[in-house]
Structure 1
Amino acid sequence: MITASNPWRGHDFATMLAVLVAGAATLLSLAGYLCSRLTREARREYTAFRLCRDLSLLSAAAALAVYLWGCLHSLFLADQELAHRCERQKPAGALALVGIRGDFIPLRVVCETSNSHDYSIAIPGYINPTVALLLLLAFFCAVTSVVFHYKQRTTTRKKG
């Protein structure tokens, strides 16, 4: 966030640290759950509903891992280094730099110019598209899981 006192600031360190700690804890929990689904007993109980549910969780975990990787790229860059990168990567036609801001969604570090030709640096270009694609896959797997679960319950009620 850009403030009048310090317009050359990327992501807030405390917020970034909280995102990384919470994200890592969530990722470890998801990994633990998904590993528990690989036991022989759990594999015997697999249905289409459970498979889609677990694929949804796997996709969400992968999206979280890629997002956290992007956060680590930003975490270790000092504000001064960000300013130097902004100067080095300034595109043609961009006027004077007036500040830097860090956005969490989408994950990016934005160099702001006086003529509003803002541009991103520091975060690899594959991070946000990969996260979006994995979250979309997680959503479709979750919806499919709900449909399968509904069909299974409807079929079970008709038999009973």
Structure 2
Amino acid sequence: MSGDEPYTEHVGAILVLLILAGLLTVVWLTVRVITGLVRSRRNGATLLGPAAVLAWDAAVGMYTWGLLHLLFFDDHAQAQACEKAVEGKVTGYEPTFVPLHFGCRTGDGRVVEAVIPSYLNPATVLLGICALVLTWLVIAHHKKGTHT
């Protein structure tokens, strides 16, 4: 970010596209979880597959929840949140998509999170790790050739 643009924000078009993609993915994965549970109950198969899809669903849902926080905070609300968080003069914003962050830069160089809930990024990472481990277990289970 250049010094002449200290109050940069998340790019609106990218934010809307990520939210739409996230919402569609959450709906699609939720349907996959339900159909996977029905199939596994009917066939007596393992629940590893639906559990992995559910973990991915939760991770994408958590990230999308954070994106929605950004969408509903307009410029004025972001400025108010920053002023409340730093209790002083805000000299700029430092937004990022990964990790999801809307930082408020102070005069002494500190950056304080103001809009994104503090639990969001750790929860998204934890759910993503769970999803990766479960997906690895599903792949290993299928390579063994045992589908029970």
Partner of 1:151: 144
TM-score (norm 2): 0.85
Deviation at 1:38, TM superposition (A): 3.2
Q: Which has the higher contact order (CA 8 A, sep 6+)?
A: 1
Partner of 2:131: 138
Identity, in percent, stands at 28
Aligned to 1:74, which of 57, 70, 82? 70
Deviation at 1:115, TM superposition (A): 3.0
Deviation at 1:131, TM superposition (A): 0.9
- What is the CA–CA distance in structure 1 between the aligned matches of 2:44 and 2:97, rounded to whole Å? 37
Deviation at 1:5, TM superposition (A): 5.3
Partner of 2:21: 22
Q: Which moved more, 1:127-136 or 1:75-84?
A: 75-84
Partner of 2:105: 112
Higher alpha-carbon Rg? 1
Partner of 2:83: 87
SS, match of residue 125 in structure 2: helix
Deviation at 1:116, TM superposition (A): 2.4
Is the 1:83–1:100 Cα contact (8 Å) retained in structure 2? no
Is the 2:104–2:112 Cα contact (8 Å) retained in structure 1? yes
Give the aligned length: 146
Decide whether aligned partners of structure 1 residues 79 and 101 sit closer, same or farther in structure 2, where only a CA change above 3 A counts. farther
Question: 5+ residue gaps in structure 2?
Answer: none
Matched, 1:98 2:98: no
